[in-house]
Amino acid sequence: MSSKQPKYEYVSSAKLPTRMGNFKIHGFVEASGQEHVALSYGDWKDNDVVPIRIHSECLTGDSLFSTRCDCGFQLEKAMQNIVDNGCGVLLYLRQEGRGIGLLNKIRAYNLQDSGMDTVEANEHLGFDADLRSYDICKVMLDTLKVSRVELMTNNPKKLAALKGLGIDVVARKPIDHGITEDNKGYIKTKTEKLGHAFDPHAFK
């Protein structure tokens, strides 16, 4: 019998009341020690299509109310959409700054303040434009007994990643992005350089 530690492991669950509704929070850990959580709301049967959102951690947007990105807006919108639907799952992955970490994200912000876009800044620091992995999503969804999903995203890479993991993505549902004067350039770069699906008229 192998004593090798599983790459991803479920830890525990608990009630999580929020101002949008009463969720449950489920903890997961990687062999590296990195921790992630899933929020679930409502109930579903084995073969139901469940609306889900994969959300990468953004301390500045999610917790500090920054408007230079659309992350906090999308997190709140996804949770409200799940409650309005009656059920759903939010996968919250600890992948700050598209995987480069919080302090490197601040360094990238500094470069953006000097005129670079978000992709140029990451690459100037020696990183790929996007270092995120979605492999743990399979373990999270299997634990919650979700096999067929409607994915709330504007990012086609998330769609391809889930399909590559064997998850039945029945539909992609766009999620509002909350364009402001502060984040318009950031969202435009995500559209033009990272393939995100936004209405081009929104930038005019």
Binding residues for GTP are 53-57, 74, 96-98, 118, 153, 158
> Residue 9 forms beta bridges with which residues?
29
Helices within the chain (DSSP H only): 71-85, 96-99, 102-113, 118-124, 136-143, 156-164, 184-194
Distance between CA 88 and CA 84 in Å, rounded? 10
State yes or no: is 130 an active-site residue: yes
Q: Which of 62, 70, 117, 130 is catalytic?
A: 130
Distance between CA 39 and CA 56 in Å, rounded? 13
Cβ atoms of 70 and 187 closer than 8 Å: yes
Q: 3-state SS of 7-66?
A: CEEEEEEEEEECCCCEEEEEEEEECCCCEEEEEEECCCCCCCEEEEEEEECCHHHHHCCC
Q: Which of 107, 132, 168, 176 is catalytic?
A: 132
Q: Which residues are catalytic?
A: 130, 132
